[in-house]
């Protein structure tokens, strides 16, 4: 009997898998034996490990739908889909929203998640044990000031996960979501530094303050998120669908 978290022989596709949380998740799934494909912008795929399949595609581009459909058509099956690609916009109050920015972020954070799931639904069904993992956030159920756009987009992802779980459950496909708290990725550190330049706290102080708010006394890490994704991808979570799994060290 194989271990329930052994992913040998399974195919996984991670959107936004070239860097950040997506890269950490792809590396974790690969360590458990999964065959990895990562879909990302061309510039994010320059150092994809040997043995992985790199798929250059802009999920906000005009050719995104055709690109996803073509990729799905080439697969006889897909066992794991991680719809991770997303963006965190700059801090803005509700009285300073930018429509172009709103549409761009909603396209990537919401439409591309649903579009990816829809495109690969058939391949996941053919797996017989398909698992889709959507990237939400604690902002999907907890708001923060000056993050109206991001909060709205992640609330939407949670809605997609719950509704799609009902749509695809009869086809043997599980759909769950991860809800990370702040993770010290390069993207977060860049935002913290930019905030410091406009009068915010120094990066070290900002991270320490976040850590102090958690039950564990530390921020969650990219590895924590990757381990949770591995769990949702594997048979260890075989009875779970429509669930939102927080990974925030007790921040919520």
Distance CA 15, CA 57 (A): 9
Distance CA 70, CA 83 (A): 17
Residue 141 a catalytic site member: no
Q: DSSP secondary structure string, 90-123?
A: PPB-GGG--HHHHHHHHIIIIIHHHHHHHHTHHH
At a CB cut-off of 8 Å and minimum separation 6, what does 8 contact? 2, 32, 33, 34
Beta-strand ranges (E) seen in 150-210 are: 174-180
150, 183, 229, 246: the active-site residue: 150
Residues in the chain, how many? 252
Catalytic residue annotation:
150
């Amino acid at each position: 009997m194989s271990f329930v978290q052994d992913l040998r022989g399974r195919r996984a596709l991670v959107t936004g898998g070239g860097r950040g949380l997506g890269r950490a998740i792809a590396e974790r799934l690969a360590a458990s034996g999964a065959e990895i494909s990562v879909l990302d912008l061309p510039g994010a795929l320059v150092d994809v490990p040997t043995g992985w399949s790199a798929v250059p595609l802009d999920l906000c581009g005009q050719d995104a739908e055709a690109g996803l459909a073509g990729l799905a058509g080439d697969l006889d099956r897909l066992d794991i889909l991680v719809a991770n690609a997303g963006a965190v916009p700059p801090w803005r109050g509700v009285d300073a929203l930018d429509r172009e920015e709103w549409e761009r972020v909603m396209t990537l954070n919401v439409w591309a998640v649903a579009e990816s799931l829809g495109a690969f639904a058939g391949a996941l069904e053919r797996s017989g044990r398909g698992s889709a993992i959507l990237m939400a956030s604690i902002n999907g159920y907890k708001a923060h000031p000056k993050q109206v756009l991001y909060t709205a987009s992640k609330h939407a992802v949670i809605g997609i996960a719950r509704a799609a779980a009902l749509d695809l459950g009869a086809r043997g496909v599980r759909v769950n979501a991860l809800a990370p708290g702040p993770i010290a990725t390069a993207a977060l550190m860049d935002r913290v530094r930019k905030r410091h330049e406009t009068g915010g706290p120094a990066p070290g102080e900002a991270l320490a303050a976040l850590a102090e708010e958690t039950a564990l006394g530390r921020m969650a890490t990219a590895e924590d998120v990757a381990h949770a994704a591995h769990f949702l991808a594997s048979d260890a979570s075989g009875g779970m669908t429509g669930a939102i799994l927080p990974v925030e060290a007790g921040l919520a």
